[in-house]
């Protein structure tokens, strides 16, 4: 699976990786190394995260579809039950 990100997102992620490495490992890495690391993450880790997200979304929508009767139910023939206050005189 090839995960394609918009160029501006890729640039922001590369900068974030550079900052993270600088702050947590006291080492500066260049844009090239950060970009290569990002590419590795997208190729190696990305599909697992993507598949989990799809699975979670599928479960969510299946649960909602199974509960449609409770969520989208309209009471039928409820006019007389709500007590309209009107009475019909019969002759």
pLDDT at 26: 92
Residue 69 binned pLDDT confidence (cut-offs 50, 70, 90): confident
Is-above-0.85 flag for pTM? no
Whether residue 67 has pLDDT greater than 90: no
Structural domain spans, the chain? 7-71
Task: Give the Cα separation of 83 and 16 in Å (integer).
Answer: 64
Whether residue 91 has pLDDT greater than 70: no
pLDDT at 85: 60
Q: What is the mean pLDDT of residues 45-73?
A: 91
């Amino acid at each position: 699976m090839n995960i394609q990100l918009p160029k501006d997102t890729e640039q922001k992620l590369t900068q974030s990786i550079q900052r993270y490495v600088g702050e947590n490992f006291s080492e500066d890495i260049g844009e090239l190394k950060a970009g290569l690391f990002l590419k590795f993450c997208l190729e190696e880790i990305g599909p697992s995260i993507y598949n989990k997200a799809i699975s979670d979304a599928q479960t969510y929508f299946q649960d909602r579809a199974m509960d449609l009767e409770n969520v989208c139910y309209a009471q039928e023939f409820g006019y007389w039950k709500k007590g309209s206050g009107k009475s019909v005189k019969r002759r």
